[in-house]
Structure 1
Amino acid sequence: MAGTRRSWTREETRAIVAEAERTTASVSSVARRHGLTPSLLFRWRRELWDEERAASLPVAPAFVPLALPAPPAASPCEEVLQGGAIEVELVGGHRVRVEAGADPALVRDVLATLLGR
């Protein structure tokens, strides 16, 4: 009978594992009674435990709907930025608009003066 393998149904493996868990006999004796190796019975038991543990975990949603607000309309400041300029609005209500190519030292000095530094 060398080379033949027995195929066990899912119900048979569950029944054998259940028998091994409820009996006072050793797992090895249950395995021998069914013509199995103890390692196969231990593997079946571990696989069933893994399935039960996975079934008890909460299922993550496959899709979560998300509604985003419409993007705000471009402010006049953003329109200026697109033209190569920057506009800085200070707390006191002062605004400084700097065109592209302005001297950085001059801009720094103007902002420092307005901020009182």
Structure 2
Amino acid sequence: MTRVEIVTRGQARREYTPDERARVLTEAAMPGARVLLVAQRYGISPSLMYRWRREAAGRPARQAPPRAPRFVPLLVDDGGTRQGGGVPPSAPMQDAGTDRVEVVLRNGRLLRVGAGMDATVVARLAAALEA
């Protein structure tokens, strides 16, 4: 049996004042100082310190280009082991006009995905549903 654990952030994101940022960056700029060690001392990610450094130099922080979210229709059939509320195996998908792949998992569940779905994503879904 595989254990799946979902971790959520328990605290609000910490806000640093300009003085705190300046103090941390000054310490990291000292001769012989290492950003990693200074970041660990203050409990800050080194990437955050590099972002502060770029912003202090007047350069904008680098951002990844936005990507549109991809949603994949997914129906899971538990093989009739659950009473009521289940989706019958022959229930059509919302996009019934497109090709689809149905995978019967080892635990008897049915995984239906679009035929163009990335195999890696399907494998991850299958592993999560078999747990």
With the shorter chain as reference, the TM-score category is 0.3 to 0.5
Greater C-alpha radius of gyration? 1
Q: Which has the higher helix share?
A: 1
TM-score, normalised with respect to structure 1: 0.40
Structure with the larger RCO, 1 or 2 (CA within 8 Å, 6+ apart): 2
